[in-house]
């Protein structure tokens, strides 16, 4: 598919996303990255309470950590990564806070399914070569893995995701509430994952373009 056609389809899809009100339990606005053509597809969990104000994914504390990881691994700053990696999420609206505190509410299966249709179309349009699921929910969606992070972080997996064969390099969630990536074996496995990400041909291609 020619690049102009892909971008036009992504813009149409984003217009549909912006108008979506399918989930009454979610708090808008819809948050998504720009319509860009990239071989690298990053899948987060859901925007936090602040992302809607900035109208971009990973715009707050977790984002600072995520983009620091990318910069340490690839040398590319946040602006560059946002310009060359396609950002999506399992859910595109803020789910609200979890009952009793302890962070943001996890999107429920119905909310996940509502957004999955958009992700399926994005993957069909972009046909990425590499997907980077960030956090346990995104990892589960891509790999079906519900076990310990040590089983997947620091490896290159292969998957068929929404009909597209691609590589998978998973990352832990960069949330400040999580200590997994700050203690062993998480620290070492995160370092290995970032090295694999920086060296992957799709990431090299994205940064080159």
**CB 92, CB 46: distance < 8 Å:** yes
How far is the C-alpha of 121 from the C-alpha of 3, rounded, in Å? 16
pLDDT for the residue numbered 120: 98
183-200: pLDDT as tens digits? 999 999 999 999 999 999
- Which CATH number belongs to the domain containing residue 42 in this structure? 3.40.470.10
pLDDT for the residue numbered 175: 85
DSSP string for residues in 8-49:
HHHHHHHHHHHH----TTSBS----------SEEEEES---T
75-89: pLDDT as tens digits? 999 999 999 999 999
126-173: pLDDT as tens digits? 999 999 999 999 999 999 999 999 999 999 999 999 999 999 999 999
Q: Which domain holds residue 173?
A: 3-208
14-28: average pLDDT? 96
Q: What is the pTM of this model?
A: 0.96
Tell me the pLDDT of the chain averaged across its residues.
95
pLDDT for the residue numbered 101: 67
Question: How many structural domains does the chain have?
Answer: 1
pLDDT for the residue numbered 194: 98
pLDDT for the residue numbered 151: 97
Residue 99's pLDDT band (cuts 50, 70, 90): confident
């Amino acid at each position: 598919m020619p690049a102009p056609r892909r971008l036009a389809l992504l813009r149409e899809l984003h217009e549909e996303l912006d108008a979506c009100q399918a989930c009454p339990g979610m708090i808008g606005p819809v948050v998504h990255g720009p319509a860009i053509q990239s071989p690298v597809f990053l899948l987060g969990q859901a925007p936090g309470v602040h992302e809607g104000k900035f109208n971009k994914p990973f715009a707050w504390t977790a984002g600072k950590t995520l983009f620091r990881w990318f910069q340490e691994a690839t040398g590319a700053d946040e602006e560059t990564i946002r310009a060359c990696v396609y950002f999506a999420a399992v859910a595109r609206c803020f789910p609200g806070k979890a009952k009793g505190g302890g962070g943001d509410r996890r999107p429920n299966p119905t909310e996940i399914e509502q957004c999955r249709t958009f992700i399926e179309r994005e993957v069909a349009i972009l046909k990425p070569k590499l997907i980077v699921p960030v956090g346990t929910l995104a990892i589960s969606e891509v790999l079906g893995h519900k076990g310990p992070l040590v089983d997947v972080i620091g490896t290159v997996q292969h998957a068929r995701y929404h009909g597209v064969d691609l590589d998978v390099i998973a990352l832990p969630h960069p949330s400040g509430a999580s200590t997994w990536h700050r203690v062993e074996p998480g620290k070492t496995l995160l370092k290995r994952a970032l090295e694999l990400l920086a060296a992957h041909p799709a990431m090299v291609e994205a940064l080159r373009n």
